[in-house]
Structure 1
Amino acid sequence: MSVVSTRLKTKEDITQHEISALKTRFNLADAHTHQDQSLTQQKIVDSLPELWYRAQGQTQYKSEQEFIKAFFTFHGQEHALKRHDEIYLVYAASVAMHITATYLRKRDMSVGLIEPCFDNLHDLLKHMEVPLSPLDESLFRSAKDVYANLQTAAAKVDAIFLVDPNNPTGTSMFANGAQTFMEVARYCRDHGKLLILDFCFAAFIKTAGGSRVDAYAILDEIGTQYIIMEDTGKTWPLQDTKCATIMSSRALNADIYSIVTSVLLNVSPFILNVVTQYINDSSDDDFESVRSVLDINREAAQKHLHGNFLKYLTPMVETSVAWFEILRDGVSADDLQAYLMNYDVYVLPGKYFFWNKPQTGQKYIRLALARKPEEFKLAVETIAVALENYHE
């Protein structure tokens, strides 16, 4: 166990853990989608040759615009489509984040970054030498005090960077309507702050049975300056065949566009055709194929793991990950992760999400839910047995 523990503690970030997790029998580390195709999604796979030649026979622009219209319409963000030529497509959300970090560095802007959050946000900004200050996600849980709280917490930063719903906790400004978000947008407008939004998990507002408010319309109506990133990679079982988007308020568009074009020319039209089919499929079945897998696995996780050792933390918005608090005194997330490795199960310790105070995260672990239900059930049953046998 000590050898395993030492090896795990040398990891520098979540991604390095996720790479190692790919070697284990039960990989519950990365939040990428690893579930089977639904019956209708299987038909999309069967049609891949047709989609290949369709992409080959139409313009790049047509493939892009079909994807943009399908994605933003499906998510209820139709206001953005008024500027559809200023929605830029990139290979992955991390590329959109790198573009954003480049903009911030060029402008010598400081950032208030939500904590906890997925660690590559912090790492990308840190590597670009963007000054960072933590904004505790508790600031954004209700509309009542958020404006006043930000007057203190964000007074010295130039930009506010939020993830909604947040990964890993599921905290969301939209859980009880749009008022909290509107207050944040109003604060940013009134105090000249750039609002940066990572909506890469926003699809789970829909899978949880809700509907997304049109955030782009709200921001433009209030007059807030913004950069927004969205993604497809954490939603559909695409084997990382994905596309992300980045869009900014009109005043920032020229600067963002110049950075985008320095990074890439275009996303593969074949990939765009494939992902568009998955979006349309979920539009037809009201996200049932995605929702059902997550519901089954979330129920299994709670049934087998919620108890005296671990406590399932109910999120404001149910996403594709489960966040557990460690209740056993003297057991850190690092300890538990290393122990579970002996059972060929890989989970993520919470310390990487708490980028400013890693020790705070030692009482949490994260489990990915987007897995084949039969395999996920075996995984959580294995964890349950392991916890019964745990001796300090």
Structure 2
Amino acid sequence: MITYSRPLDALASGPADLTQHEIEALATRHNLADAHTHQHQSASQREIVGRLPDLWYEAERGTQAEFERRFTEAFFRLHGQASALHGKPPLLSYAASVSTLVVAMYLRERQATVTLVEPCFDNLHDVLRNSGVTARPIAERTLHDVQHIYDNLKESVRGDALFLVDPNNPTGFSLLKHGRSGFAEVARFCRDHGKLLVIDLCFAAFAFCGDTPYGRFDLYELLRDSGVSYVTIEDTGKTWPVQDAKCAMLVTSDDVYEDVRKLHTSVLLNVSPFILNLLTAYAEDSARDGFASVATVLETNRRLARDVLAGTVLELQEPVVPVSVAWFRIASDRLTATELQHLLREEDVYVLPGTYFHWHAPGAGDGFIRIALARDPGMFADSVKRLATALERIGR
């Protein structure tokens, strides 16, 4: 029997968005909410930390342009995206949210409307809305069958731009499931119908993790050859455990670059050369170990969550790409995500309810929760076991 320490109508008075939930979660012992990297350093990453003074003084001696070039080359070569280096230089910022804000400013300046994938992390919608850009939803399932992607988009996309997240947060779905064909169909639709294609690629590094058969290809070559107008958002923030020292980038087609750049320079001058030097070292380290330092932690924690939570009301939804979060369906008709999240908070366990990811129709997400995986495996094991024990207690 489920019991509550406060009335259910009080649940509605909680945080207004997912980021506010994540801020509250930082005060809990078993924080499985935010997807930021909280795992410990690998052996080779500890060597990078030991070199911090050297990286600092290197940044003092060099030029900003040099460190931007070294970082972007290391990042895009690591990701197998050499064509991103052949066009206009990427526009760098401190965080993906800053890059998203620039995109929203660009759309607002053109009085453009957007079709945004649902579910997705709700700050994408919030940044658009707060910038005065109207967003309409398109269901992620529209992209699941490659043979119908073009027709589905033709039927569903309204407005001037299509905004996708790939791999998607929270589900882990990716057009990589279809090889090149999925992205090609999306780009063909946008070109044929004059839509700007915006893709959030912040979780793209995880396509190199695990045993997924869906490897990455040079997406920028495909986008360039398709003739589509596009803007992509790249980011390091979810990849390495660097205490939130990060860099995001905007990469655009040539036809929109100067207008986007004008807005970008109105927001900031540059990213710290020290941070760029540090991130270059991490990118080079991952190139040497084939992303093992990232993949091993996530594989261990996803397997543990699957095993420990087997037999509970939580059913893992297997991702296309093994991203750093796990999406669970609540297999119960008498327990919603809102209720479950509140009950788990009383057990000092913090997860995110699916309602917020369904930014247009929250009720569609009330049967899901998201659990972050980028944690030290020992700490994660304690948290998941605590979660399982709480679920058993709730079910009594």
The residue identity in structure 2 corresponding to 1:23 is: A
Aligned residue among 31, 38, 57 for 1:34: 38
> Residue 189 of structure 2 corresponds to which residue in structure 1?
187
Structure 2 residue 195 is matched with structure 1 residue 197? no
Kept in 1: contact 2:312–2:392 (CA 8 A): no
CA distance in 1, matches of 2:189, 2:310: 39
Kept in 2: contact 1:9–1:334 (CA 8 A): no
> Structure 1's 266 and 353: CA in aligned 2 closer, same or farther, altered over 3 A?
same
- Mark the runs of 5 or more structure 1 residues left unpaired by the alignment: none
CA distance in 2, matches of 1:308, 1:69: 46
1:130-141 mapped onto 2 (5 Å cutoff): 130-141=133-144
CA distance in 2, matches of 1:16, 1:8: 14
Kept in 1: contact 2:312–2:391 (CA 8 A): no
TM-superposed CA distance for 1:306, in Å, is 2.8
Kept in 2: contact 1:4–1:341 (CA 8 A): no
- Calculate the TM-score normalised by the size of structure 2: 0.96
> Residue 270 of structure 2 corresponds to which residue in structure 1?
266
* Root-mean-square deviation (Å): 1.3
> Structure 1's 391 and 305: CA in aligned 2 closer, same or farther, altered over 3 A?
closer
CA distance in 1, matches of 2:5, 2:360: 27
Kept in 1: contact 2:209–2:291 (CA 8 A): yes
Percent of pairs with identical residues: 49
Structure 2 residue 85 is matched with structure 1 residue 81? yes
Structure 2 residue 120 is matched with structure 1 residue 149? no
CA distance in 1, matches of 2:6, 2:243: 32
Kept in 2: contact 1:8–1:338 (CA 8 A): no
TM-superposed CA distance for 1:3, in Å, is 4.2
Residue 335 of structure 2 aligns to a residue whose secondary structure is coil
TM-superposed CA distance for 1:176, in Å, is 3.3
TM-superposed CA distance for 1:122, in Å, is 0.4
TM-superposed CA distance for 1:26, in Å, is 0.5
> Residue 311 of structure 1 corresponds to which residue in structure 2?
315
> Residue 177 of structure 1 corresponds to which residue in structure 2?
179
CA distance in 2, matches of 1:366, 1:168: 7
1:56-67 mapped onto 2 (5 Å cutoff): 56-67=60-71
Aligned residue among 360, 368, 373 for 1:369: 373
Kept in 2: contact 1:96–1:229 (CA 8 A): yes
TM-superposed CA distance for 1:307, in Å, is 2.4
CA distance in 1, matches of 2:43, 2:186: 42
> Residue 248 of structure 1 corresponds to which residue in structure 2?
252
CA distance in 2, matches of 1:375, 1:205: 25
CA distance in 1, matches of 2:378, 2:395: 28
Structure 2 residue 323 is matched with structure 1 residue 334? no
Q: Which stretch shows the higher mean deviation, 89-98 or 304-313? A: 304-313
Residue 174 of structure 1 aligns to a residue whose secondary structure is helix
The residue identity in structure 2 corresponding to 1:270 is: F
Kept in 2: contact 1:142–1:173 (CA 8 A): no
Query: Deviation string for 1:264-306 (max 9, x for gaps)?
Result: 0000000000011000000000000110000010011000113
TM-superposed CA distance for 1:316, in Å, is 1.2
Kept in 2: contact 1:76–1:212 (CA 8 A): yes
Kept in 2: contact 1:308–1:328 (CA 8 A): no
TM-superposed CA distance for 1:221, in Å, is 0.3
> Structure 1's 283 and 109: CA in aligned 2 closer, same or farther, altered over 3 A?
same
TM-superposed CA distance for 1:7, in Å, is 6.3
Kept in 1: contact 2:146–2:178 (CA 8 A): no
Residue 147 of structure 2 aligns to a residue whose secondary structure is coil
> Residue 392 of structure 2 corresponds to which residue in structure 1?
388
Residue 176 of structure 2 aligns to a residue whose secondary structure is coil
Kept in 2: contact 1:243–1:267 (CA 8 A): yes
Number of positions where the alignment pairs a residue of Structure 1 with one of Structure 2: 390
Q: Which stretch shows the higher mean deviation, 301-310 or 323-332? A: 301-310
Kept in 1: contact 2:166–2:199 (CA 8 A): yes
> Residue 351 of structure 2 corresponds to which residue in structure 1?
347
Structure 2 residue 250 is matched with structure 1 residue 237? no
CA distance in 2, matches of 1:4, 1:281: 51
The residue identity in structure 2 corresponding to 1:358 is: P
TM-superposed CA distance for 1:8, in Å, is 7.2
- Mark the runs of 5 or more structure 2 residues left unpaired by the alignment: none
> Residue 164 of structure 2 corresponds to which residue in structure 1?
162
Kept in 2: contact 1:25–1:344 (CA 8 A): yes
CA distance in 2, matches of 1:378, 1:8: 29
Residue 238 of structure 1 aligns to a residue whose secondary structure is coil
